[in-house]
Structure 1
Amino acid sequence: MNIKMIFKWLVVSTTLILVSFCAVAVPSRAKTGAHVTGHVSCNGRMLPFVTITVRGTTIGTATDRQGYYRLPDLPLGEQTIVANSIGYRIATKQVTTKPNESVVLDFELEEDLLNVDAVVVTDDKDAISRREASTIVNSVTPKLMVQNNARSISEGLPYIPGVRMENNCQNCGFNQVRLNGMEGEYTQTLVDGHPIFSGLMGVYGLEFIPANMIERIEVQRGGGSALYGSNAVAGTVNLILQDPMVNTFQAGFNTDFIGVGIQGSGGVKPDYSASFNSSNVTDNNKAGIAVYGNVRYRTPFDLNNDGYSELPRLKNATVGTRLFHRIGDRGKLSLSYFHITEERRGGNRFDRPYHEANVAEAPHHNVNVPSLVYTQMLRESDLLTLNASFQHVDRESYYGGKANGKDAHPLKDYGLTTDLSFNFGAQYAAHFTQSTLVGGLDFTGEKLKDIKPGYTDYSTAPILKDKNGNDSLAVDKAKEIGSLTVANQITATVGAFAQYSHHIGWATLTGGFRIDRYSVEDLASKTGFHNTGIVPVPRVSILLSPIPELQLRANYSMGYRKPQMYNEELHVEVAGAKQIVQRVASDLRRETSHSAMLSADYNRQFHHLALGVLAEGFYTRLKDAFINKRHNADEEGTVLLERMNFADGATIYGVNLEVNVAPSRDLAFKLGGTFQKSQYAKDVPEELNSGQRDFLRTPSLYGFLLGDWKIGAGFKLNASFNLTGPMDVVYEGKVARNPEEKKVLEENDFSIRRTPSFFDLGAKLSYTFNVFGVDLTLYTGVRNVLNSFQKDFETGAERASSYVYGPMLPRTVYCGLTMGNIF
């Protein structure tokens, strides 16, 4: 059975299963007349947008701006009502509902300035309090995004210990997230807990997903393959989309001015963005819809005024929606969809076609991501979840150019890439008095095809005499170059997983196991590359909480990566006449990892002071680690980096630290830092990893500091500081710093350089006031106040575009406004 037949069979069967469950469920909730209403407050202040749910059902709502909520037509009998909101402790109350009777049930919440009671779902694939999770899970909330004026996912992630964003290309701005120092492909990005974020999407995806479509981001460091399959070696980044709970709206506009006060640049360049969000639910809370959108336009920025951009031009538009319909008291059907279209271009001659530029890197993406999820409560609080998720990416690209005026057949550098990934899954979470059992099945697959379209090589057209005896170029006789299939890859993974957690006093023991069968086939490979394997993946953890304020955790987990194309293999680096492409070796074996983590998490709230301290040690051992072998340039100047295995493996170890201090409700500080070492187990040959034993582009020290101060009278001040320590990077240019480096460049075509440290300081001032019942916020701020930015960018068409490091933006001043009833 081929992959297309399997795909069609799964689509049909999943749809039938979902329809069947919807059919057998109670079609609608009976009108019992049993209503529960009330207000939610804290220290005399009414709290808006507090989530109110009925335990053991899918019934829920949220408080309005006056802190009022209403749950109509509830099931009869004993019910548990739960109030939950970020920044407050979870509260529960019991109530007995009777026919045609209303009950008033008010909540007085306690502040949780450290968010230790925040609900997370990434750790055990089940909603659980952060303090009860078997591993540390950090959340990036909308509040944190707003504080740092993050417009995309990539701008919100660096404020978590062990997480660092970096730019990897001077031309197109390809960036990636590093968890505990490991490259981006070691991290599994999830969308609502589903692994459909493909390698192609991983090239630029974290930058062109706007922040306003996200309810929160959950980051789990350490191996997660026992639950989420391949690639979750360094950890997982779970993008949780917005869910409609109450009638809200918000709109905003922002303008960045890039390069303010920088001498010798190509001038200050604007970056415009606008966004909107709207959420609506029916009066009986039975159905709801959330709609969001975002547009962005950034002009290219030239730091050194050489006519070539350091930041690419961006044109981005996103629109998406999520709908839900409650089926009876205990069932819920959710449909999500979002579409992203993005054009980016780096290089020069932006007013000309790609192939007439000296250098152009210009991918154009169209992304469609639909998903369907059905949840059904069973027994008292068991949860059955069925899901079908898809992601389709169309990319038209150009990586090349005329190479500084040289005739190098620039038409050959166009490319067409299509990628379809999908995930089907079924999961059952059973809750007992002292234990929880989660198990399930899933099937994940991907079909990737990357081709270079054919073109006419007009340089081969002969010169013939026309009927008048004059010389004429016979373009119809020019040589036709056929299309070339670069990659035609099919991957499929079938997995089964189970995890059991048991509470014994103040200890929780958790054991998980997953077994995957994967298949990777490259139909474009001349050697018929086809790799299959069965991988058992265990996970064990222990959580000790001798006192409520302290959690001690010890974890072991295994991870693996299939021998397939990842994001770096789908990116082409251009340096004038030289192209650097990356491919996988035909005998590439899967890479496995063994990770161990120890952590102590102490959180205590005094009368007016909240203090949280986290120390986490991590150790990862990679077996058959993937490593790049550098080949000499071919006749056309193309350099091949071939992905191979390094049998001796590699180790990554270090410590993550986090301190949260809130002297009052109006003032809070967050400090995070990472000390680490990443290196291969033995010295490596010069052609592997550029001959370096230490991982490249991996600083031993990096961290951040955040400050949040509600000044009063609607004013708010936010400050941020990011530290990036020195690291080793590869330089493939031609401008040597000294005679010694010149000799190395002549012998090897590259050298290793040590970068300086960077200190990225930012600040933001905002003012919020109410106009006709709508909150209006005006704000202004600056990123990278000190302009701690790379000073030695390459120049001209022959520049080495991969020689880029440090903060992702130079000094940038911004201003904007938002309006709505979300705050």
Structure 2
Amino acid sequence: MFHKNILFIASIIASLVMLSTTLWARTTETTTSTKKPQTDANIFGHVTCNGKHLPYAVIRVVGTTIAAITDATGHYNIINLPVGTHTVEASMLGYTTKRKTVTLEEGKSAELSFELEEDYMQMDAVVVTGDKRAVTRRETGSIISSITPKLLSSVSASTVSEGISFAPGVRMENDCQNCGFNQVRLNGMPGQYSQILIDGRPMFGSVMGVYGMELIPSNMIERIEILRGGGSSLYGSSAVAGSINLILRDPAFNTFEIDYMQGFTGVGVKGTGGVKPDYNVNLSASMLTPDSKTGLSLYGSFRQRTPFDYDNDGFSELPLLRNTTIGARTFYRVTQRGKLSATYFHISEKRRGGNRFDSPLHCADVAEAPTHSINNASLQYQQYFRENDLLSINTSLLHVDRESYYGGNSLRDYGRTKNITYSAMAQYLTAFSDWGSLATGIDYSGEYLRDARPGYPTYGVQQNATTHEWEVNYDDITLTDETLVAHQQTYAIGLYGQFTYKHPFGSVTAGLRFDHFQVRNLAEQAKDKTTTYIGNAPVPRVSILFNLLPELQLRANYAMGYRAPQVYDEELHVGVSGAKRVTTRNSENLKHETSHSAMLSLDYNKTFQSWAIGCLVEGFYTYLKDAFINETVLENNFVYYTRHNIKSGANVYGANIELNYVPIRPLALKLGGTYQKSEYLETNKDLNEGQKDFLRAPNAYGFFMAQWKIWQGLALDATLNVTGPMKIAYEGSAARNSEEQDLIDNGKMPIRTTPTFFDASFKLSYSFRLASSELQFYTGVKNAFNSFQRDFDQGPERASSYVYGPMLPRTMYVGIKLGNIF
């Protein structure tokens, strides 16, 4: 099965490459015969740093869609440009961006070369999430943290979930012992308070939010941009704690990469169910036509992990995974100032946790087994007007089909879920020379969700007249009706405007968004109890940037946010404890949740001749008003959640720190940490078991990373993730003492405090040239000291939500990578 999937992905990519090459060849021929008269106004040159040529640097004509890439020798050539004066920009990840002005005449060529400087702190890296426009990190009014493919590679991240924690204020956690449901927390707030975007669009719907960060392979990603703090004025509902923008790979130059990694989970760990394999294969390729008018990027991934039993009780702690992903992105430069882009990807994933993996799901004591089929398609058009004005129009659709089983020894626990998320957006960016810009836009987004348990057969019983024993009557068959768990439709339309005023001393950005949204509970409507929540939310945002010194910046931000009362991801995940299922309802007087967030930061970055240092200190505060709380009622093995607003609010406050230090060029050190408090203003017996502090929210956590190029192609990467103690509810029946037993007997959950975890990982790699490509061998270990949870609940009645700490036990791996750029 494993080899078939690899061949399947490889054959599709190869077929698409051959097909696209043929089509592009025909397109080029057609274009040649119909093209307009050529200006023969050309530019050429090279890009260097410290006298060394830089391959694959991006050369862009500002205000147009025209661009080129330097070749393997660091040279470039752009032909038939419009006659006149142009601003040309050279950029490359890890280097400063430079611009030059050139005046072109018909029939003449001009040489334009660039000397870039190493940007250890990535202050000239382009980001788009903070202001919905491409600006350098140095210019944006909000701090944006970027996670690059290089960082994902250095930690051998198979999926986004394994690499996203290396940014201040970000923590990834596992919330289910059976199926591996996970969520990402920003500044200590639960996952439902963060907006996860795909290319700037809110496409993570209710179902995608359950396993989404582990569904997306890392080779799809161009970079991940993380905006901490309220960003709702630009991105709508749920961006209270911040936004995580997953930017997919663009075809920038002709590349290919093949990566195979073999992992071994549980190496050297005593008392487990044995070491288990974890295979991972990534394939990607991109190419451009000679005139750079058309580009195509392809990627594919296959992963298979065997379920892992940490405490050898016969039940898995890490679920079985089988994930196949394939996708493509293409663009066509319609005119010199217009560009059309299209993206598609498909993810098929099967996962299963519990026991008796060779048996049908309903024959297992515990089985949590969702199977996802995900399709996403998007279309975008960009057109420049005037000098640098830009119109962007895009639309996107994501469709999720999920077949699931959550339960044990029963036919009633199968489920079927359909989730459709869609959006359409238009934005116009007006550039006022060098002193300001105005972004205005409208977006429409919506979601359809239907989650149901299909009917199942039941059999009658009768008493044997002779033996007086009860027997199943297989002739007496009844098919139960379908049970509707959630049926909901939501939509929102938003108008926004944001103005940025620039000054040599900094900039001021002010924005306002107005959202009108509806949440329709179709399940209640079917019972003639139509429940439609209609709301309006004005959302302002202000940010101020002061350039105190050339290397020191002060930023102050305020943003309002809101959260609509729809079904969220954690409510669609079902914990198996007595085969409970969940149905969610809204109370009659429910209000949408609102927030007020403020941030203040100092950012210092200085590059010297042979070393560099950067330090960020950031304070944050968020006040939650009318926070949601679920009143839980158990009836006939069903869990009914009725959502209310709590009367008192909640405070989330703390500080992030990030330190980057490059003592010598081959060595880069990075340190990040967070200290924060998350607490409700008043205690509530129905909330957090009467606890004032948020559960699953440690006060302190952080990371350390070292990247050392030891000698030529030999490199060492070392990382450390630290998670401090936190409070967690125990929903099981295995009491530690008489006090816990009393709570359990009275229907309450004991609150336990977790230990501190130190998750250290190491990777050693060696790369060398192979013809025009590069070959790399690597090996490493994740969670080297096996800092892992020791007190998992056991058996078929275990509390699957009682899980915390690092997501993997000690795992060793080896791999090989072949490509023309790493």
Per-residue deviation at 1:273?
A: 0.5
- Do the aligned partners of 2:716 and 2:762 also contact (CA within 8 Å) in 1? yes
Distance in 2 (CA, whole Å) between partners of 1:464 and 1:536 is: 70
- Do the aligned partners of 2:587 and 2:643 also contact (CA within 8 Å) in 1? no
1:477 aligned counterpart, secondary structure: strand
Per-residue CA deviation, residues 630-649 of structure 1 (Å, 9 max, x unaligned), is 43x4343x444543311211
Per-residue CA deviation, residues 140-197 of structure 1 (Å, 9 max, x unaligned), is 0001101111111111110000000000000000000000011111110111001111
Q: Which residue of 1 aligns with 2:793?
A: 794
1:331 and 2:333 aligned: no
Q: Which residue of 2 aligns with 1:731?
A: 730
Per-residue CA deviation, residues 338-365 of structure 1 (Å, 9 max, x unaligned), is 0000000000000011111000000000
Per-residue deviation at 1:476?
A: 4.3
1:810 aligned counterpart, secondary structure: coil
Instruction: Return the match for 1:529 from 513, 531, 537.
Output: 531
Per-residue CA deviation, residues 612-632 of structure 1 (Å, 9 max, x unaligned), is 00000000000001223343x
- Do the aligned partners of 2:40 and 2:106 also contact (CA within 8 Å) in 1? yes
- Do the aligned partners of 1:451 and 1:487 also contact (CA within 8 Å) in 2? yes
- Do the aligned partners of 1:142 and 1:215 also contact (CA within 8 Å) in 2? yes
Per-residue deviation at 1:485?
A: 1.6
- Do the aligned partners of 1:582 and 1:643 also contact (CA within 8 Å) in 2? no
Per-residue deviation at 1:678?
A: 0.2
Per-residue deviation at 1:100?
A: 2.8
CA RMSD of aligned residues (A): 1.5
- Do the aligned partners of 2:393 and 2:426 also contact (CA within 8 Å) in 1? yes
TM-score, normalised on structure 1? Answer: 0.93
Q: Which residue of 2 aligns with 1:743?
A: 742
- Do the aligned partners of 1:767 and 1:777 also contact (CA within 8 Å) in 2? yes
Q: Which residue of 2 aligns with 1:266?
A: 273
Distance in 1 (CA, whole Å) between partners of 2:154 and 2:296 is: 27
Per-residue deviation at 1:462?
A: 5.4
Per-residue CA deviation, residues 715-766 of structure 1 (Å, 9 max, x unaligned), is 0000000100000001011111122212222123421000000000111000
TM-score, normalised on structure 2? Answer: 0.93
Per-residue deviation at 1:43?
A: 1.3
Distance in 2 (CA, whole Å) between partners of 1:472 and 1:760 is: 55
Q: Which residue of 2 aligns with 1:23?
A: none
Call closer, same or farther: CA 1:741–1:383 in 2, change over 3 Å.
same
Q: Which residue of 2 aligns with 1:606?
A: 608
Distance in 2 (CA, whole Å) between partners of 1:29 and 1:650 is: 63
Per-residue CA deviation, residues 378-410 of structure 1 (Å, 9 max, x unaligned), is 1100100000111100011110012xxxxxxx1
Q: Which residue of 2 aligns with 1:662?
A: 662
Q: Which residue of 2 aligns with 1:761?
A: 760
Taking the TM superposition and a 5 Å limit, the aligned residue runs for 1:93-492 are: 93-402=100-409, 410-433=410-433, 434-458=435-459, 460=460, 474-492=473-491
Q: Which residue of 1 aligns with 2:97?
A: 90
Deviates more, 1:29-38 or 1:551-560: 29-38
- Do the aligned partners of 1:462 and 1:475 also contact (CA within 8 Å) in 2? no
Distance in 1 (CA, whole Å) between partners of 2:714 and 2:504 is: 46
Distance in 2 (CA, whole Å) between partners of 1:296 and 1:30 is: 51
Q: Which residue of 2 aligns with 1:585?
A: 586
Call closer, same or farther: CA 1:463–1:64 in 2, change over 3 Å.
farther
- Do the aligned partners of 2:255 and 2:821 also contact (CA within 8 Å) in 1? yes
Call closer, same or farther: CA 1:797–1:606 in 2, change over 3 Å.
same
- Do the aligned partners of 1:627 and 1:689 also contact (CA within 8 Å) in 2? no
Distance in 1 (CA, whole Å) between partners of 2:774 and 2:375 is: 33
Per-residue CA deviation, residues 484-519 of structure 1 (Å, 9 max, x unaligned), is 121111101010000001023303111000000000
Matched letter for residue 553 of structure 1: R
Distance in 1 (CA, whole Å) between partners of 2:280 and 2:462 is: 51
Matched letter for residue 80 of structure 2: D
Per-residue deviation at 1:102?
A: 2.5
Per-residue deviation at 1:788?
A: 0.4
Q: Which residue of 2 aligns with 1:781?
A: 780
Q: Which residue of 1 aligns with 2:821?
A: 822
Distance in 1 (CA, whole Å) between partners of 2:208 and 2:471 is: 47
Distance in 1 (CA, whole Å) between partners of 2:243 and 2:481 is: 41
- Do the aligned partners of 2:587 and 2:642 also contact (CA within 8 Å) in 1? no
Distance in 1 (CA, whole Å) between partners of 2:56 and 2:283 is: 18
Distance in 2 (CA, whole Å) between partners of 1:582 and 1:44 is: 65
1:143 aligned counterpart, secondary structure: helix
Per-residue deviation at 1:72?
A: 2.0
- Do the aligned partners of 2:485 and 2:582 also contact (CA within 8 Å) in 1? no
Q: Which residue of 1 aligns with 2:646?
A: 646
- Do the aligned partners of 1:224 and 1:235 also contact (CA within 8 Å) in 2? yes
1:246 aligned counterpart, secondary structure: coil
1:627 aligned counterpart, secondary structure: strand
Per-residue CA deviation, residues 223-247 of structure 1 (Å, 9 max, x unaligned), is 0110000000000000101111111
2:602 aligned counterpart, secondary structure: strand
Per-residue deviation at 1:596?
A: 0.4
- Do the aligned partners of 2:411 and 2:456 also contact (CA within 8 Å) in 1? yes
- Do the aligned partners of 2:585 and 2:640 also contact (CA within 8 Å) in 1? no
Deviates more, 1:797-806 or 1:91-100: 91-100
Distance in 2 (CA, whole Å) between partners of 1:164 and 1:641 is: 27
Matched letter for residue 654 of structure 1: G
2:163 aligned counterpart, secondary structure: helix
Deviates more, 1:520-529 or 1:353-362: 520-529
- Do the aligned partners of 1:461 and 1:478 also contact (CA within 8 Å) in 2? no
Distance in 2 (CA, whole Å) between partners of 1:508 and 1:159 is: 29
Distance in 2 (CA, whole Å) between partners of 1:452 and 1:238 is: 33
- Do the aligned partners of 1:572 and 1:582 also contact (CA within 8 Å) in 2? no
Per-residue deviation at 1:94?
A: 1.6
1:566 and 2:573 aligned: no
Distance in 1 (CA, whole Å) between partners of 2:181 and 2:84 is: 56
- Do the aligned partners of 2:773 and 2:821 also contact (CA within 8 Å) in 1? no
Distance in 1 (CA, whole Å) between partners of 2:233 and 2:272 is: 49
- Do the aligned partners of 2:654 and 2:674 also contact (CA within 8 Å) in 1? yes
Distance in 2 (CA, whole Å) between partners of 1:721 and 1:482 is: 52
Distance in 1 (CA, whole Å) between partners of 2:69 and 2:462 is: 74
2:744 aligned counterpart, secondary structure: helix
Q: Which residue of 2 aligns with 1:8?
A: none
- Do the aligned partners of 1:28 and 1:327 also contact (CA within 8 Å) in 2? no
Per-residue CA deviation, residues 427-473 of structure 1 (Å, 9 max, x unaligned), is 00001120110000010011111111111113x255899xxxxx996
Q: Which residue of 1 aligns with 2:23?
A: none
- Do the aligned partners of 1:580 and 1:641 also contact (CA within 8 Å) in 2? no
Distance in 2 (CA, whole Å) between partners of 1:635 and 1:483 is: 15
- Do the aligned partners of 1:463 and 1:474 also contact (CA within 8 Å) in 2? no
The percent identity for this pair of structures is: 53
Distance in 1 (CA, whole Å) between partners of 2:175 and 2:107 is: 63
Per-residue deviation at 1:774?
A: 1.3
Matched letter for residue 598 of structure 1: L
| Length, aligned pairs only | 780
1:38 and 2:45 aligned: yes
Q: Which residue of 2 aligns with 1:680?
A: 680
- Do the aligned partners of 2:486 and 2:583 also contact (CA within 8 Å) in 1? no
- Do the aligned partners of 2:225 and 2:246 also contact (CA within 8 Å) in 1? yes
Matched letter for residue 418 of structure 1: K
